[in-house]
Amino acid sequence: MDPRAHDTTPWPRLDAATAHLPAPVAAVSLDAVDRNLDRLVEAADGMPLRVASKSIRVRAVVERALAHRGVEGVLAFTLPEAIWLARVGTTDDLLVAYPTVDAAGLDALVCEPDLAAAITLTVDDPAHLAAIAEARARTGGRETVQVVLEADVSLRKGPVTIGPRRSPLHGSQAVERAARRVVAEPGIALRGLLTYEGHVAGVQDVPVAGDLRDRAYRWAVRGMQGVSRRGLYAERRAVVDAVAAVLGHAPELVNGGGTGSVAWSSADPALTEVTVGSGLFVGHLFDRFRAIDLEPAFGIGLDVVRTPEPDMVTLLGSGWVATGAVAADRLPVAAWPPGLELTGTEGAGEVQTPLTGALAARAAGHRLEVGSRVWMRHAKSGEPAERVDEVVLVQEDGSTHTVPTYRGEGKAFL
C-alpha cells in the first residue's frame, strides 16, 4: 500500500502525548510495536525470531522485544555493540551479522568467558579467522570464539547478480571448503550459517498507486522473487548439508530471512531462526509488501515555522534521508496530518522542509499554522535514533515513558 495510506490512528495519540515537548521529538507507539510483534510471531508459525538491533537502536525496545513470546536473541550489527549489550545484561544470545576486524573487541572476546559464551561472530574470509588468531596471540586469551559462516544466497544468473553483495562464499563447495578451514583453527567453534535472502526479504513488491512505471517494475520484482524462491530452499539446504558434513552433525544455528519474508522464510526447514527488525517500528519502505501487514510505530514530530504560501507549511528540519541507493523512496514522508507532501524541488531539507497540501488538511479540520506540529515517518526503522538522544514511549491510554536511544547512552556504532 502507499506509505500515506496506512492507518493513522497512532499519530493523534503521539501528538497529544508529546505536545509539551520541544521538537524534534521522537515517539514510539508501544501498542503498535506489540501488535507488530504479534503479527510477526504469528507469521513465523513457531520458528524462533531473532531481533535485528540496527533497525531499533533503542535498548529499552530491544529488551521489550526479547521479552515477547517467540523472540530469542539479538542480531547485532557490530562487535562493540554486541559487547555492550552483553555487558549491560540485555541478552546473552548475540549474533553479530557482519564480519569484524575490531581489535579491541576481539581482544575482549578471547579474554572474557561471559562475552565468548554470549556472542557469535560472522565470518566468510580467512582474514577474519586470522584477526581472531591475532587477538589470541596478542592477549594470551584462550576463550573459544563462536562463529557462523555467511553463505551468499543472492540470485545469480550468468553475469547478473540480484541481491545484496555480501559473502564471497557461493554454493555448497565453497561453503564446505570454508567450513573445513574454520574447524581446523584452534580456539574457534563453528556453530552454523547466516544466509540472508535480501532480494526476497527487503524489496517492495506492491506498486505505488497510479504509477504505471512503478507497477511494471514491481511486477518484475515479483517475477524475480518467484524465480529466486523456487531455487532458494534447495540452495540453502545444500549449504547446510555441506556444513553438517564437516561438523558431523546438523549445525545448531542457521539464520535467514527478514521482515519482508518472515512467513516464507520460516517455512524453510533448513533454517533454525528468522531475523526481524524493521517490522517493529516499520519505516515506510516496509509499507508496500504483500506478505505482511504491519503498523507504523515510530514518528518524528517537527514544528511548523513558516507558511510561505496558502497551500504550504514549512517545517524546521526533517532532512533525515535513509541510507541505500539514492532515490525518492529514501526520503521521509509526512504521516500526520494526512495529505501533506514534500515538494519536488526541496525534498527533505537540512534545516527547513516545505510541505504542500495544507489547504486540504485545514479543510479536513486540521490545525496547520506556525507552531503546529507535523509527524514524519523515516524510510528506515532504526536510523532516526542516531539523530535524537531519547524517544518517548507512548501507551494506548496516552501514558508515556522517556528512554534513551543508543546515542542518548553515548553509543554510536555505525
Q: Which of left, alpha, beta for 57 (phi over 0: left; psi -120 to 50: alpha)?
A: left
Apex CA 155: angle with CA 153 and CA 160, to 5°? 130
Look at residue 217 and tell me whether its pLDDT is greater than 60: no
Per-residue pLDDT at 350 exceeds 70: yes
Given a cut of 80, is residue 221 above it in pLDDT?
Answer: no
Residues 162-180, mean pLDDT to the nearest whole number: 88
How many angstroms separate the CA atoms of 25 and 390, rounded? 8
pLDDT mean over 194-201: 77
- Please measure the distance between the N-terminal and C-terminal CA atoms of the chain and give it in whole angstroms: 31
- The pLDDT tens digits for 68-90 are 999 999 999 999 999 999 999 99
Task: Name which residue leads in pLDDT, 414 or 162.
Answer: 414
pLDDT (mean) for 334-345? 95
Per-residue pLDDT reduced to its tens digit, 268-320: 999 999 999 999 999 998 886 666 789 999 999 999 999 999 999 999 998 79
CA angle 50, 51, 57 (to 5 degrees): 155
The 3-state DSSP composition of the chain as helix, strand, coil percent (nearest 5) reads 40, 25, 40
Residues 6+ apart with CB under 8 A from 110: 116, 132, 135, 136, 139, 141, 142, 143, 145, 187
In this model, does residue 8 exceed pLDDT 70? no
β-strands 160-162, 155-157 pairing: antiparallel
Higher pLDDT, 302 or 157: 302
Mean predicted confidence (pLDDT) in 14-28:
97
Handedness of CA 104, 105, 106, 111 (dihedral sign): positive
Domains defined along the chain, listed by start: 30-281 (3.20.20.10), 298-407 (2.40.37.20)
CA–CA gap between residue 391 and residue 29 (Å, rounded) = 10
More confident call, 205 vs 351: 351
